[in-house]
């Protein structure tokens, strides 16, 4: 138990986080960029064109990873919310806020790439399809968390309120997804369907797996970058940030 506690305590230390993340970031970024470059070149240059859609399908290597990550990102954010509510760890507050921003960006990316893809495929930018609509609602949920955070003056209060909201959201996301799915099948016969996954050729599928992994890492890198910026802003008056700003580097923490 004490081991867990001291670990959690250390995790709570912004300075420790800053130091460790400095060590990890180069590796993570390298991996993320490498995977993305590999997956994209493979997917864009070497994978065979789609029988129906020709080359326009290649946007899938951005679209699908972004969509995956944005959903997972919401649960990650809510997880940070739980940690923040239960253990009151400042770093979880930071992660919550950063997660909302990065998650909203990913969702937006999925929506935009989807729209771009929709134009040649469906002849229209936007369709009120179940999955797309629930993606839009997910974006609203992210924006709601961001707006709530900004509305509070006190950071701690903001983070805890956002934690409650994101937890409410996690209960609701499956419900929203299911209900929108249901709504679609009720109102409109299936004139349009997302093509792909089950029948996807392995040559198209393997690069997709690589870019999905790459996107998860990219998410992590962006999250860490935003968290570091926020940590610096919060701790701007503390000694270690001052040392950092003066180019004195970051000494190991006493006992850390």
Lookup: tokens for 14: 């912004």
Q: Which stretch binds ligand HEM (CB under 6 A): 25-33, 34-42, 61-69, 177-185?
A: 61-69
Minimum CB distance to ligand HEM smaller for 198 or for 254: 198
How far apart are the C-alpha atoms of 67 and 70, rounded to whole Å?
5
Name the one range near ligand HEM by CB under 6 A: 13-21, 44-52, 82-90, 190-198.
190-198
Partner in contact with 111, chosen from ligand HEM, other proteins, none, beta carbon below 5 to 8 Å by kind: ligand HEM
Structure tokens at 38: 């590999």
| The one among 180, 221, 223, 241 contacting other proteins by CB under 8 A | 180
Q: Which of 144, 140, 83 is nearest to 107 (CA)?
A: 140
Give the integer Cα–Cα distance in Å for 256 and 249: 16
Collapsing DSSP to helix, strand or coil, 54 comes out as strand
Nearest to 240 by CA among 222, 225, 228, 226: 228
What's the min distance (Å) between Cβ of 129 and ligand HEM?
Answer: 8
Where do contacts with other proteins occur on this chain (CB under 8 A)? 85, 124-129, 133, 136-137, 140-141, 143-144, 146-148, 150-154, 157, 160-161, 164-165, 167-169, 171-172, 175-176, 178-180, 182-184, 186-188, 237
């Amino acid at each position: 138990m004490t081991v867990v506690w001291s670990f959690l305590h250390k995790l709570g230390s912004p300075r420790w986080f800053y130091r460790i993340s400095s060590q990890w970031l180069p590796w993570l970024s390298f991996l993320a960029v490498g995977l993305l470059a590999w997956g994209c070149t493979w997917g864009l240059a070497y994978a065979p064109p789609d029988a129906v859609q020709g080359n326009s399908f290649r946007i899938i290597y951005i679209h699908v990873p972004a969509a995956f990550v944005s959903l997972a990102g919401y649960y990650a954010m809510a997880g940070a919310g739980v940690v923040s509510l239960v253990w009151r760890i400042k770093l979880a507050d930071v992660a919550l806020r950063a997660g909302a921003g990065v998650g909203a960006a990913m969702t937006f990316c999925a929506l935009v790439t989807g729209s771009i893809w929709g134009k040649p495929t469906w002849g229209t930018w936007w369709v009120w399809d179940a999955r797309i609509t629930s993606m839009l609602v997910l974006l609203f949920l992210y924006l709601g968390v961001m707006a709530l955070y900004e509305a509070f003056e006190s950071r701690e209060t903001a983070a805890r309120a956002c934690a409650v909201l994101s937890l409410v959201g996690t209960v609701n996301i499956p419900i929203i997804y299911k209900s929108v799915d249901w709504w679609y099948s009720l109102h409109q016969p299936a004139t349009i369907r997302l093509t792909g996954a089950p029948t996807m050729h392995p040559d198209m599928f393997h690069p997709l797996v690589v870019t999905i992994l790459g996107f998860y890492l990219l998410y992590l890198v962006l999250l860490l970058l935003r968290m570091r910026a926020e940590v610096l802003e919060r701790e701007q008056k503390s000694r270690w940030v001052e040392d950092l700003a003066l180019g004195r580097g970051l000494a190991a923490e006493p006992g850390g």
